Structure 1
Amino acid sequence: MLGRLRTGGVRRVAAAVLAMSMATTALGETLAETLSDAYVNSGAIEQNRALLRAADEGVAQALAAMRPALKWSGGINRNYGVSGVPDVAIERTSTLTSSIELSVQLVLYAGGQLRLGVDLAKESVLATRATLLSAEQTLLLNATFSFLAIREATESLNLRQNNVRVIRQEVRAARDRFEVGEVTRTDVALAEARLAAAVAALAAAEGALITAGEQFHRFVGRDPGQLVQPTRLPKIPGSVAEAKSQAVRRHPEIISAQHQVAASELRILIAKGAMKPTVSVTGSYGLTESFNNRSFNQGGSVSLGASGPIYQGGELSSLVRQAMANRDASRAQLHVVYLTIEQNVGQAYSDLRVAQANKTSFQEQVRAARVAFQGVREEAALGARTTLDVLDAEQELLDARASLISAEISEFQAAYSVLSAIGLMTPEALQLAVPQFDPSQYYNMVRNAPVSQSKQGKELDRVLRALGKD
Structure 2
Amino acid sequence: MATALLGPAVLFLGTPQAAAQTLSEAMAQAYASNPALLGARANLRAVDENVPQALAGWRPSVSVSASGGPLDSRVRTLAQGFDPETGGTFAYGRTTRIERQLLTTQLTVTQPIFRGGRTVASTRRAENQVLGQRARLLQQEQQVMSDTVNAFVNVILYQEIVRLRVNNEQVLTEQLRATNERFRVGEITRTDVAQAESRLANARSLRSQAEGQLQIARATYLRVVGTQPARLVAPQPLRPPVANAQEAGLAAATNNPTVVAALFDEAAARDAIDVQMSQLLPQVSVQGQAFRSDNSTANHTRITGAQVLGQLTVPLYQGGAEYSQVRQARQQAQQARQTVDDQRRAVTQSATQAWEQLQSSKAQVEAQRAAIRASEIALDGVQREAIVGSRTTLEVLNQEQELLGNRTDLVQALATVVAQSYSLAGAIGRLTAQDLGLDVDPYDMRAYYNAVRNRWVGLGDYSNVAEKR
Q: Name the TM-score, length of structure 2 as normaliser.
A: 0.89
Within the candidate set 309, 319, 341, 1:335 is matched to 341
Rg: which structure is higher? 2
Indicate the percent of aligned positions where both proteins have the same amino acid. Answer: 33
| 1:463 CA displacement | 3.9
Residue matched to 1:52? 44
Counterpart in 1 of 2:70? 78
Match status 1:93 vs 2:98: yes
Matched, 1:301 2:307: yes
Matches of residues 303-382 of structure 1 in structure 2 within 5 Å?
303-382=309-388
Equivalent of 2:189 in 162, 184, 193: 184
In the alignment, structure 1 residue 131 sits paired with structure 2 residue 140: no
* Matched residue, 1:410: 416
Which secondary structure does the structure 2 equivalent of 1:432 belong to? coil
CA 1:122–1:309: 2 relative to 1, 3 Å: same
- The code of the aligned residue for 1:388 comes to L
Aligned to 1:275: 280
SS in 2 for 1:304: strand
Contact 1:120 1:267 in 2 (8 A): yes
After superposition, give the CA deviation of every residue in 1:201-223 in whole Å (9 maximum; x if it has no partner).
00000000001111111111121
Which whole-Å deviations, capped at 9, do the CAs of 1:44-77 have from their partners, x for residues lacking one?
1111111111111110011112111111111223
Residue of structure 2 aligned with 1:428, choices 419, 430, 434: 434
What secondary structure sits across from 1:274 in the alignment? Answer: helix
Out of 207, 211, 214, which is 1:206 matched to?
A: 211
In the alignment of these two chains, the number of paired residues is 438
Decide whether aligned partners of structure 1 residues 27 and 465 sit closer, same or farther in structure 2, where only a CA change above 3 A counts: closer
The equivalent position to 1:116 in structure 2, one of 112, 117, 121, is 121
Tell me the equivalent position of 2:111: 106
In 2, Cα distance between equivalents of 1:467 and 1:161? 49
Per-residue CA deviations over 1:152-200 (Å, capped at 9, x if unaligned) read 1011000000000111111011100000000011100110010000000
Report the residue type matching 1:133 in the other structure: L
Q: Kindly tell me: are residues 25 and 60 of structure 1, through their superposed partners in 2, closer, same or farther at Cα, counting changes over 3 Å?
A: farther
RMSD: 2.1
- Greater mean alpha carbon deviation, residues 279-288 or residues 139-148: 279-288
Question: Offset of 1:337 from its aligned partner?
Answer: 0.3
Which letter maps to 2:325? L
2:202: which partner in 1? 197
Q: Distance in 2 between matches of 1:247 and 1:258?
A: 14
Name the aligned partner's letter for residue 448 of structure 1. Answer: N
Structure 2 Cα separation of the partners of residues 90 and 245 of structure 1: 92
Query: Which whole-Å CA distance do the structure 1 matches of 2:394 and 2:185 have between them?
Result: 18
Structure 2 counterpart of 1:393:
399
Q: Aligned partners of 2:23 and 2:402: how far apart in 1?
A: 32
1:335 Cα deviation after fit: 0.1
Deviations 1:108-155 (A, max 9, x none): 112211111111110111011111001000111011011111111011
**Deviation string, structure 1 residues 380-404 (Cα, Å, up to 9, x no partner):** 1222211111100100001100110
CA deviation profile, 1:270-328 (whole Å, cap 9, x unmatched): 22221111111111101122499542110022211122322233322211111111011
Please tell me the residue identity of whatever aligns with 2:414: E
Query: Which amino acid is the alignment partner of residue 448 of structure 2?
Result: Y
Match of 1:152 among 157, 161, 165: 157
1:437 aligns with 2:443: yes
Q: Which has the higher helix share?
A: 1
Cα distance, 1:466 vs. partner?
8.0
SS in 2 for 1:303: strand
Question: Match of 2:60, as an amino acid?
Answer: P
Task: Give a deviation string over 1:324-355, Cα, whole Å, max 9, x none.
Answer: 11011000000000011110110000100110
1:429-448 Cα shifts (integer Å, max 9, x gaps): 11111111111111111111
Task: Tell me: CA distance 1:85–1:102, structure 2 relative to 1, closer, same or farther (3 Å).
Answer: closer
Q: Is the 8 A contact 2:74 2:98 kept in 1?
A: yes
Q: Secondary structure of the residue that 1:331 maps to in structure 2? A: helix
- SS of alignment partner, residue 65 of structure 1: helix
**Contact 1:64/1:449 (CA < 8 Å) preserved in 2?**
no
Structure 2 residue runs of 5 or longer lacking an equivalent are 1-15, 79-91
Give TM-score scaled by structure 1 length.
0.89
Equivalent residue of 2:354, what SS? helix
Greater shift, 410-419 or 81-90, is seen at 81-90
